[in-house]
Each structure stands twice: as structure tokens, then as C-alpha cells.
Amino acid sequence: MGFSLPANALQTPPAPLERVPLQAPKIGVVAGGLGAYWPQFDGLLEEIMRSNGQIIERLSDLGAIVTDLGLVSDPLEGARAAKAANAADLDLLVVLVSTYLTSGQMMSLLRDVDTPIVLVNLQPGPAMDHARFGTGEWLAYAGSAGLPEMGVALERIGKPVFAVAGHLDDERAWGRIATYVRVARVLRALRQARHGMMGHLYPGMYDIATNITNVIGQLGGHVEVMEFDDLRILFEQVAEQEIELALSAIRQCFRMIEPVDTENVRFQAQVSAALNRLVAERDLSTLAYFHFGQPGDMYGKLATGFPIGATMLTSRGIPTVTEYELRAAIAMLVTSALGGGGTLTEGQALDFNEGVVELGHNDAADLAITEGSAQLRKLDVFHGKGGGGTSIECGVDLGPVTQFSLAELGNGRLRFIASEGIAVDGPHITIGNTTTRVDFGCDPGEWTETWATSGSTHHWSMAKGHLANDLRALAEIIGAEFRQVAP
């Protein structure tokens, strides 16, 4: 499970857009070994615990909050470790299989723990010193004997099996472990997430209609269903000072294209301030919204005032998307938690001359992954929506990108759909949309055919970096299907 997203993938956004910090994942570590060995072989237990200490230290270096659950040498210790693990609010449990051990002594732990389990066998070095080693020294390298038994135990009790094998300085193995640490961070974000839904489904968009119980039942979190009245009340309470602060932030974050609709920008600044109040009041992690309203009424006017505020929130790591697209907002939250940010995306056009797919949407740009400065463009009409006003125009930064869609299939199962490509330079249509030109290494029509038959809705997240391996690991742990579109 490699990972090609650079550590600094998210650019430093303008000062008003400080990213909402994600909580560090909580990972429990249990060391296992056969208790019969300790009195037989001097130094074996000490060698295993030294390895255990190095692994815990490196997990901490990867950004995890680590709980050392001790050593399991027999079934009683396994039962005690299970109780301690369940009390520790863990996102992931790492079981260190450093030597042979029986599945019987670990069964209480494997069966009763309430969190995903990863089996890890990291021997002390890359190879034994065959001329010098006796049985005791060999047993410190014998985790590969116990690893399959733990896997069988998990499979027989109906749990997924995840395993990593290597040595303490094996960067391939540590790359896989780092993937699980990142996945654990996403799991915590999803468990604690509060998703706002305000307004109603865009009429006729059946593909994005979501069974709320089904989705949060599989991913965790909570959905807060709200009315546009909730925003209207807050909008009317916004003070002049809040509007001025919002306008100052807008000037720092965007470049304005002439002619500037100053009145609409000010109106959107007030909507943005109201959205900030709403997000704080409801403690929201995402917000999906939509409303048509009637010409001239307050709700119709409010519905046109989101582009700037939605982009500001999205750029702080709180995806805020139009057309009531809950699952696209969650997809953006996932890619953001993986370090790639996320901007709302749909198909825009195909450029067969240059061999690229043009992708974009309106609203919900993530300025932390934007190429250059985002622009504000005045539009007399928002396509497919009521009214007009100021809209966001930008694209995702050039280089590796990932498309990630969270599909809800007809049978209720979730499917994670990912496709990696390269954002390339070229002409952008100037209609106030986010637009990114992506080369998927194949004919644009072929990619579009494959993506269209993958189960994706017509909205998804575009993130910076190549994230498919992490998304695959996340899907496996959650129990969702995974499909990579790579024609």
C-alpha cells in the first residue's frame, strides 16, 4: 500500500482559512507471545519487548496517540487486554505477532475488541545470524509462524484480516503501517463527524438521493437536518463587524474580475458570516444544501448567496456543497483527512484534441489545493439554479490528482470509487466554475465510459495527490466495496 501524496500536499491557505485540525488517531498496541517460551529461553521476552517499544515509538512519530496494552502470554491476559482495548476509545488495534503464539490465548482479544485489527510481524532484523543463533534467538524472528494462525482465527469469527510482515527497519512494511495510521485518522473523523443537510434535494437528481440511516450506519457520524429558516435567523443576526471581517477575508482570498458586483459580494459576505455561525452552533463537519425559492423571496435570495461562503468553509476543511449532495461532502471530508483536500467535481467536457477530461463544478472550491489565485466572476444567471451573482473560478493545482466518489448501490452497500490522473495546464472556460483538466493516460471517452459505469453519482471529490491505495485500505476496513477506474 504505497502512498504518493507529498507531505506538503495541502498548500498554506490565506490566513483567514486556517484548516480545522483533525484529531490524532488512537491506536492500541498488544504484544503477543507464547508464555511457555519465557522460562525456557533467557532474553527472548526482553528482545520482544524491545521490539514492541520501537514499534510504539514509531507509531507515535507517525502522528498516532498510542495506548500500550501490554503483553498477552496466555488466555487470561488476552481477556484483560480486550477489556482495556474497549475502554480506550481506539480507532485501530495493532497486534504484534513477534514470535509464535496460539490463537486460543488471543481469542478473547480478537473476538471481543470493538475496533479494526491489524496483525503486524516485524522481526528484529532483515535476516537471522544463522551461524550464531540458537532456538531462543530464532524465536524472536518466528512471528511468521504465528501470523497465519491469527489470520485464520479472525476469518473464522467473521472479521477481516489485515497483516503486515517485515523487519523493524523495513520501509516497505512501515509504508503499509503508515497507510493504516492515515486510515485510522479518517475513521476517527468519520465516527465523530456531524453532517448538516439544509433545504432539499435538487429536483430530479435521484442519483444523489441518500439513505441517511444506511450511510451513517456504515461510516459512523450523525446527520443534522436543518431548514433554510435556521440560516435566515442567523443571517439577520449578523453584525456589521462580522460582515467587514468577512469582506476582509474575501479580499485576501480571491482576485476579483471586473465588473465587480460589489453589492452581491457584500451580500455573500453576510451569508458567509451566517454560515460560520451555523457551523459553529451545530458543530458541523460538512454541509450539503439546496433551495430554489421563489423570485424575490428571502429564501430564494439566500440560496444564491453561498458560493463564497461555501468555498471559505470548504477551504477550512468543512466541505460545503450545493445540490444537497451529502455523499460528495463526505467524500471531500475523507480526501481532506487523507491530506489531499477536496473540491466538488462533476464532468464538464472532453477535450479529444489534448486527450484530457475537463472536470469542475460551481461553489465548494478548496483553496488549499488551488492552482494560483481563485477568482470571483459576476454571473447574471447561475445555470440550473435561481438568480445569479458572484461565482468562484479556479482549478486544482497541477500534478497528481485523485477522483473519489462514495457510491450507495441498489443493495444498500457502499462502494468507494477512485481514479488517479494528472492535472495538466491548458485553457479553462471562464464561466465562474472550478475547472481542472485531467489526463488519465487514456482516451477521454474511454475514461468517461468506465467512470460512468462504476456506480459513481455525477458529483464527487477531486483531491491533490494519488490516494487510491489509502482509499482501498479504508474501504477494506469499513467493509465497503472498492473499485479503481484505470482504463
Kindly report, residue by residue over 333-370, the tens digit of the pLDDT: 999 999 999 999 999 999 999 999 999 998 889 999 99
**pLDDT tens readout for residues 306-317:** 999 999 999 999
Q: Which backbone phi and psi does 250 adopt, to 5 degrees? A: -60, -45
Give CA 284 to chain center in angstroms. Answer: 16
> Does residue 173 sit in the same domain as residue 227?
no
Q: Is residue 5 part of a domain?
A: no
- Percent of the chain clearing pLDDT 90 (strictly above): 89
Q: Are residue 359 and residue 313 in the same domain, yes or no? A: yes
The predicted structure's pLDDT at residue 437? 98
Element (H, E) at 476: helix 468-478
For residue 5, pLDDT over 70 is answered with no
The single-letter DSSP state of residue 302 is H
Which string of DSSP letters, residue by residue, matches 120-164?
EEEESSSS--TTT--HHHHHTTTHHHHHHHHHHHHHHTT----EE
* Residue 6: inside a domain: no
The per-residue pLDDT for range 385-431, each reduced to its tens digit, is: 878 889 999 999 999 999 999 999 999 999 999 999 999 999 999 98
Q: 348 and 243, same structural domain?
A: yes
Q: How far apart are CA 225 and CA 216, in angstroms?
A: 13
Q: Answer with the one of 127, 161, 190 that is the final residue of a domain.
A: 190
pLDDT digits (tens, 9 = 90+) for 89-143: 999 999 999 999 999 999 999 999 999 999 999 999 999 999 999 999 999 999 9
Res. 1: pLDDT tops 50: no
Provide the sign of the torsion angle of the four alpha carbons 416, 94, 62, 66, taken in this order: positive
To which residue does cell 534467538 refer? Answer: 137
Return the SS3 of 121: strand
> For residue 3, what pLDDT is reported?
41
The whole-number average pLDDT for the span 242-269 is 94
Work out the mean pLDDT of the chain and round it to a whole number. 94
- Picking from 168, 190, 212, the residue at the C-terminal end of a domain is 190
Confidence of residue 12 (pLDDT cuts 50, 70, 90): low
pLDDT in tens, 176-186: 999 999 999 99
To 10 degrees, what angle do helices 326-337 and 212-219 make? Answer: 20
The confidence score (pLDDT) of residue 6 equals: 47
- Decide if 47 is inside a domain: yes
Q: In this structure, is residue 157 part of a structural domain?
A: yes
Residues 213 and 71 in one domain: no
Same domain, 106 and 86: yes
8 falls within a domain: no
The whole-angstrom separation of Cα 93 and Cα 142 is 21
Model confidence over 438-448: pLDDT tens digits? 999 999 999 99
Residues 181 and 221 in one domain: no
pLDDT bracket for residue 14 (50, 70, 90) = low
Residue 275 binned pLDDT confidence (cut-offs 50, 70, 90): very high
**Which residues make Cβ contacts (< 8 Å) with residue 229, sequence separation at least 6?**
none
Q: Which of 398, 412, 413 is nearest to 475 (CA)?
A: 413
Rounded CA-CA distance 474/19 in Å is: 23
- Residue 360, classed as helix, strand or coil, is strand
Q: Summarize the confidence of residues 264-287 as an average pLDDT.
A: 97
Question: Structural domain tally of the chain?
Answer: 2
Q: Which residues contact 80 (CB under 8 A, 6 or more apart)?
A: none
Q: Comparing 15 with 192, which gets the higher pLDDT?
A: 192
Q: Under 8 Å CB-to-CB from 406, ≥6 apart: which residues?
A: 327, 328, 330, 331, 334, 414, 415, 416, 417, 460
Residues 211 and 186 both lie in one domain = no
Task: State which amino acid sits at residue 66.
Answer: V
What is the pLDDT at residue 426? 95
Q: In angstroms, how far apart are the furthest CA atoms of the chain?
A: 87
Three-state secondary-structure class, residue 1: coil
Residue 132 domain-assigned (yes or no): yes
Residue whose C-alpha cell is 475547472: 435
Q: Does residue 97 sit in the same domain as residue 199?
A: no
Angle at 162 between CA 160 and CA 168, to 5 degrees: 160
Domain of residue 44, CATH code: 3.40.50.10940
One domain, residues 322 and 421? yes
383 domain-assigned: yes
At 294, is the pLDDT very low, low, confident or very high (cuts 50, 70, 90)?
confident
Residue 15 pLDDT grade (very low, low, confident, very high; cuts 50, 70, 90): low
Work out the pLDDT band at 11, boundaries 50, 70, 90: confident
Same domain, 319 and 441: yes
Contact 433, 307 (CB under 8 A): no
Q: In this structure, are residues 363 and 306 in contact, taking their beta carbons and an 8 Å threshold?
A: yes
Domain that holds residue 443: 193-484
Q: Are 123 and 167 in contact (CB under 8 A)?
A: yes
Strand, helix or coil at 243? helix
Query: What is the distance in angstroms between the CA of the first residue and the CA of the last residue of the chain?
Result: 20
Q: Residue 238's pLDDT is what?
A: 96
Q: In the listed set 169, 190, 211, which residue is the last one of a domain according to the structure? A: 190
Q: Residue 236 is part of a domain; what is its CATH number?
A: 3.20.14
- Is the domain of 198 the same as that of 183? no
- For residue 7, being part of any structural domain is answered with no
Positive or negative, the CA dihedral 77, 82, 86, 91 is: positive
d(CA 394, CA 96): 47
The verdict on 371 and 464 lying in the same domain is yes
